[in-house]
Amino acid sequence: MQPLMTRLAQDHRRLTKLIDLFDELLDRFHEGEEPDYDLMNEMLEYMDSYADIVHHPTEDLIFQRALDRGAGHHEVFEVLMRQHKGLAEISKRFRQALDGILHEEVLLREDVEGHGRELVATMRAHMRLEDEEAFPIALEYLSEADWAALEAIAPMGEDPLFGTPEPVRFRALYRSLSDQAHRSD
C-alpha cells in the first residue's frame, strides 16, 4: 500500500480508539456521572493539533488529486472535504459546551451530550465513507507518480499522542487509552 494511505489507515485506527473513549465518557455523562472534562478537552486538543493540521489536509490533497485525475465520484470527495471543515466546527461547539460546564455556566446536560454524540457519530460516518469509498477510488485512479507528488507536499508531523507522546501535553489521554487497551486484552 502507498505510504500515505498506510499512515491514514493507521490514523483511522487510532482515531477509532479515541472515539470509543469519547463514547465511554459520554455514556458516563448520560448516566449522571461527571466525566473527566480535562481528558475530554485533551482529546479535542489532540484532534485540533493533529487531525485538523496533518491528517485532514493530507486527505484533502489526495481527494483533490483523484478529482483532477478524473476519478469521478465528485459527490463523495466533495462531501468529505466539506466535512473536514464541518468536523472542526462540531468539535468547537462541543469544546465550548465543555468549557461552559467548567466555568459553571447553566447548560442542559442533554445539550452538552448532544454536541458530543454529534461529534462521535459524524466522525464515525466520515471515516467509514473514506475507508469504504474514497480511499479505494483514490488507490484505483492515482498513479505512482501521483503518490510520489502527494508524498512530497503532504503535511508531515509526528502524531503527538501515538508517535512520541509529549510528556505533559497528552499524558492523561495517553494513560486513558492505555488503560482502555489493557481492559480489552
pLDDT score for 106 = 72
DSSP class of residue 47 equals I
Nearest to 91 by CA among 60, 122, 61, 57: 122
Asked if pLDDT for residue 119 goes beyond 60, the answer is yes
Category of 159 on φ-ψ map: left (φ > 0), alpha (ψ -120 to 50) or beta: beta
| Percent of the chain predicted with pLDDT > 90 | 49
Distance CA 89, CA 156 (A): 23
Distance CA 146, CA 124 (A): 28
pLDDT greater at residue 106 or residue 15: 15
pLDDT score for 162 = 76
Q: Which CATH number fits domain 3-184: 1.10.10.10, 3.50.50.60, 1.20.120.520, 3.30.56.10?
A: 1.20.120.520
Identify the residue whose cell numbers are 473536514. Answer: 84
pLDDT score for 169 = 65
Asked if pLDDT for residue 35 goes beyond 90, the answer is no
- pLDDT classification of 13: cutoffs 50, 70, 90: very high
pLDDT score for 171 = 67
**Beta carbons within 8 Å of 157's beta carbon, 6+ residues apart:** 50, 53, 54
The model's pTM is 0.85
Average pLDDT of every residue of the chain: 87
Nearest to 67 by CA among 154, 116, 75, 83: 75
Q: Helices then strands (H, E): number in the chain?
A: 8, 0
